[in-house]
Chains A and B, each alone.
Chain A
Amino acid sequence: MKPVLGIAAYVLREAASRKFILAFLVGITLVLAVVALSLRIEVIDGALAATRLFGDVIPTSIRAVDVALRPVFKAAAFIVFYGGIVFGIVACSDFAPGLLSPGRIEHLLALPLRRWHLLAGTFLGVMTLALGGTVYGAGGLTLIFGVKTGYWTLGPLIAGVLACVGFAAVYAVMLTTATFVRSAALCAAAGGLFLVGGIIAGFRQQLSRFFEAGLGRNAFEAVTLLLPRLSALAMAAADLAASTPPQIRSLGLLLVGVFVFGLGALVVGFWRFEGKDY
């Protein structure tokens, strides 16, 4: 485990040195600061009575504050989920190709560690980064709305963790792609492809009706059966953020399923990496 943690720390140091990642953190901070300073919320006996943004009254209905904030938290959860994954795809696409680049890979392979430790460490490092960013953003939002309204909920934070699990599945695919083709662009493309596939997979029941019964529909259902159901997870995350029951049978099973898919993709990377000559 120690070598994996060592590689993860190495990845985190690498990320810290990148202006892109730092700019992202500064961006989140700025958004939170703007929300904190520009939003004025009047709460009377637990009811959201009035909202002002930049001094202008936002026409809203007067209702229980947690009910009134549901759309806000839902929107935030979707932004964190999809925005986080897209940002992660772009920002983290060259971590693995960089790690596997000539010169650096020989140095790493000379260290007393197994090959799969390298990939597992990279995966762990990137996921730590994603989790940190998500907790910072979602936690900040929860804190701001908690202080302003007196309504405290862990929903947005849990939704953020769900988004990280979704990203884990996508990043595992990107990491594995890097073991086949050492190209940041192709890694990002693979991540994007699986993101789109994951969105489609979440709506597979609804979409399969558009295929004629027979080979086409069966093929669609077979392919989407295996893909991580990211849109279903995103909607469950939004429901959790809004403190409403998720519209799925079991969030736990879905969550574990998406994560296990990520592990499966990562193991394919291990298989490829073990057999590759450098």
Chain B
Amino acid sequence: MENHRRRWIWVGLAALLFILAALLMFTGQGDDAAIAQEPSVEFPRRMRSQDRLRADQRRTFIMPVDAGTRAEGPPRPRDPVLAALPRGEGHTAVVIEANAVRNSPLGELLMDCLMRDGGKPLDEFRRVSGLDPLQDLDRIVITDEGLILSGNFAKARFKELLGERTSADYGQGARVYEPGAMSVPLADGGTMRGQMGSSVGTWNDQMMVVGRSSDSVKTVIDRMEGRGSDEPPAISENSTYGEMYGVLGVEQMAKILAADQPELAQRLRDVAQNVELHMDTRSDVALVAEIRGPDAEKVTDLGKSLGAALSVARLKAQAQDDKTLAQLMDFARVEPDGNSFKLEMAVPIDVIRERLAWCRQPPDTTDAGQ
């Protein structure tokens, strides 16, 4: 009888345990939608189909046949911006895909900051220049010679702004303004005059070139119209991927590093030949820098030093309980490949969103904390 009763106790206990187990497992595993997934970042490592399509669509300019170019078969359309870039090794040329960045999650966050006070500075710029940078600007190129802007500049008020300067037509559809006075019409009907030390060139309402002198602007226009050197541009079409891309002269890169890592900056000068950059902002902000040099062994050693520097930075962030920075450094790595290596770093968009949260608050509540 006692055995019979004990058996029923076992049955009851087993049922209870199974129900308890089911409850615990159900609660413990949770609903997968509610659980934060480990962040993952897609790095710009090669041209993707959308990048190829974009590059194809930008081949719009056929160089004139009498422009000094060798005629080898039928003329091929080219991207005028790429054609305008400096030629040969050692130059700096970084392209920012302004329109793509504007329409990326990062761009949305930056727009929040820009429009925080109702977008008054932007409206003022639109009024003065006749341009809407959010609509009309396509690419911004920063080179060691100056600035190149591409987009739709048909509505730009170049003549009103730069009309007092000496200017002349140049090449096919270009106009070059010498450095000199600049007059800005004010909202009250008056005019503000100033001096601008840069020369400005415009080209077919599609491009604007800012340089130190009219000669440097003309050099850019010459390259664009096929009168420049036969060397390939600083950025080849195959490298036009990401929302920011280009090449940095080693000296420029070393200057950036010199403040915090003088030894590393010097090693970079000694070892590297050029640095190619690609940044993707389509979801998170991911950066890939490819560093090349003539000596594979020295380049690999430099890669190891950079990897170690990143590791130390990560350990420091962990020691200081800076979880955000430590998480960012999780993505940092160096990929050696013979006489080059790729340095990858990323900032998840959620981290940027968190950092720029003040942009989404009314100005008066956050001014003190900025």
Contacts and interface: CB of A to CB of B under 8 A. Distances in A.
Contacts, number: 150
B25 A257 contact: yes
A255 B32 CA distance: 17
Interface in A223-269: 225-226, 228-229, 232, 244-245, 247-258, 260-261, 263-265, 267-268
B307 A49 contact: yes
B37 A248 contact: no
Contacts of A271: 7, 10-11, 14
The interface size bin for chain B is 35 or more
26 contacts: A44-B308, A45-B309, A45-B312, A46-B311, A46-B312, A47-B308, A63-B311, A64-B315, A64-B332, A225-B22, A228-B21, A248-B29, A249-B28, A249-B30, A257-B21, A257-B26, A258-B21, A260-B17, A261-B21, A263-B21, A264-B18, A264-B20, A267-B10, A268-B14, A270-B10, A274-B3
Given A50-B304, A275-B7, 17 more contacts: A44-B307, A44-B311, A62-B304, A62-B334, A205-B32, A247-B38, A249-B31, A250-B27, A253-B24, A253-B28, A254-B24, A256-B28, A260-B21, A264-B18, A264-B20, A270-B10, A271-B11
B102 interface: no
B10 A244 contact: no
B310 interface: yes
A47 B332 CA distance: 11
Interface string A186-226: 00000000000000011001100000000000000000011
A204 to B, nearest CB: 9
A248 B28 contact: yes
Nearest to B305: A44
Contacts of B329: 64
B38 A245 contact: yes
A254 B28 contact: yes
A185 to B, nearest CB: 25
Nearest to B313: A64
A257 B334 contact: no
B307 to A, nearest CB: 3
A254 B304 contact: no
Interface of A: 44-47, 49-50, 61-65, 67, 201-202, 205-206, 225-226, 228-229, 232, 244-245, 247-258, 260-261, 263-265, 267-268, 270-271, 274-275
A260 B20 contact: yes
B21 A64 contact: no
Contact of A254 (B7, B25, B303, B344): B25
Majority secondary structure, B binding face:
helix
A270 B12 CA distance: 12
Interface of B: 3, 6-7, 10-11, 13-18, 20-32, 34-35, 37-38, 303-312, 314-315, 329-330, 332-336, 341, 344
A130 B10 CA distance: 26
A228 B311 contact: no
B18 A226 contact: yes
A61 B331 CA distance: 11
B308 A49 contact: yes
Contacts of A228: 21, 25
B335 to A, nearest CB: 5
A264 B308 contact: no
A226 B22 contact: yes
A265 B17 CA distance: 9
A62 B17 contact: no
Nearest to B31: A205
A223 to B, nearest CB: 11
Contacts of A63: 307, 310-311, 332-334
Contacts of B333: 61-63, 67
Contacts of A249: 27-31, 34-35
Interface centre among B13, B25, B28, B335 (most CB of A within 10 A): B25
A60 B30 CA distance: 35
